[in-house]
Amino acid sequence: MQDGFYSGWHRAGSWTLRLWAWAVLFFLILPILTMIPLSFNAEPFFSFTRGMLQLDPAAYSLRWYADIFENPNWMLAIRNSFIIGICATIIATSLGTLAAVGLASANMPLRRLITALLLSPMIVPLIIVAAGMFFFYTRFNLVATYTGLIIAHAALGVPFVIITVTATLSGFDRSLYQAGLSLGDTPFGVFRRVVLPMIRPGVISGALFAFVTSFDEIVLVLFLAGPEQRTIPRQMFAGIREQISPTILAVATLLIIISMSVLALLEWLRRRNELIAAKHDTDF
C-alpha cells in the first residue's frame, strides 16, 4: 500500500512538472506566435482589428509579404544576409573544425588557454567585441566592407563549430586514425576519408549554428556595416525607428519559419547521430 502511495505521488508530481513546463513554454512562445496573424493584417497597424477578431476574410491580406519583394531595401538586406551568412559559415566551419581536431589531441600545448581564447567571442559581451573590431578595422580600411563583415561574423561562428565538433570527437576512436596512417595514407587523407565522415553530424550542426548566428546578428552590423551592407536585422531595426510598417512582422514570420526549420534539422541530425552510434556499438 505504501508503494502504491509513492507511485501515485510520483505520477502526480510528474504531471505537475509537465504542466509547469508547458505553461512556461506557452508564456515564452506566445509573443512570437502573436506576430504571425498580425503579419496578415490588411491595415497598416500593429494590432488586431475588429475584422481580424471577427475572422473577416477581407481583414486579412498578403500585401506586407508582397512588399518584401517589391521593396529594394528589403531585397538588398535579404541578399546581404544570405551572402554574408553563407561566406561566414564556410570560413567558420573550416577553421572551427580544424581547431576542434587539433584541440582534441592530448599533445596539444596550451590547449586550455587556446580553447578559452577561441571560445571568448561567446563569453565577452558582444558590444565590446563590436567596439574592438571597429577600432581594429579602421586601421585596415575594413569598416563598411563585405570582407570585414564576413570575417567578423565568422569569428562569432567559430566557437559554435568548435563546441559541436569537439562533442562529436569525444566518442571518436583514435585507433582508426592510427590505422589509416599505418596503411600508408597521408594525415590529410585519413582526415578526409576516416575522421570527417565520423564527425560530419557535428560539423553540419556547427555550420547551422554559425549560419543562424550570422543571420540574426545586428550589433556587429551596426558598428561595422555601411548602407550597402545592411542585413535583415539591420533593416528591421531601421524600420522600427524610421518607418513603422507591418512588413517587419512579415519578415519576422519568415525568420520564425527559418529558425524552426533549422531546429528541426538539428534534431534530425541529433537523432541520426544517436542511431549511428547505437548501430556502431551493436556491431562491435
CATH number of the domain where residue 92 is located? 1.10.3720.10
pTM: 0.81
Same domain, 115 and 42: no
Structurally, how many domains does the chain consist of? 2
CA dist list (Å): 175 to 107, 119, 171, 274: 16, 28, 12, 21
Which grid cell sits at 18? 509537465
Same domain, 26 and 54: yes
Contact 230, 80 (CB under 8 A): yes
Same domain, 211 and 141: yes
Same domain, 33 and 95: no
More confident residue, 110 or 181: 110
Same domain, 23 and 86: no
In this prediction, residue 273 carries a pLDDT of 67
**Sign of the four-CA dihedral 118, 119, 123, 126:** positive
Q: Tell me the residue type at 151.
A: I
Domain of 9, in residue numbers: 2-58
Residue 60 β-bridge partners = 41
Same domain, 192 and 124: yes
In this prediction, residue 220 carries a pLDDT of 92
In this prediction, residue 6 carries a pLDDT of 47
In this prediction, residue 87 carries a pLDDT of 95
Q: How far apart are CA 201 and CA 106, in angstroms?
A: 23
Which grid cell sits at 265? 534539422
Same domain, 93 and 39: no
Query: How would residue 160 be classed by pLDDT, with cut points 50, 70 and 90?
Result: very high
- Residue 210's nearest CA partner among 41, 88, 53, 35 is 88
Same domain, 191 and 238: yes
Same domain, 98 and 14: no
Q: What is the mean pLDDT of residues 226-238?
A: 88
* Residue 266 resides in a domain: no
In this prediction, residue 31 carries a pLDDT of 80
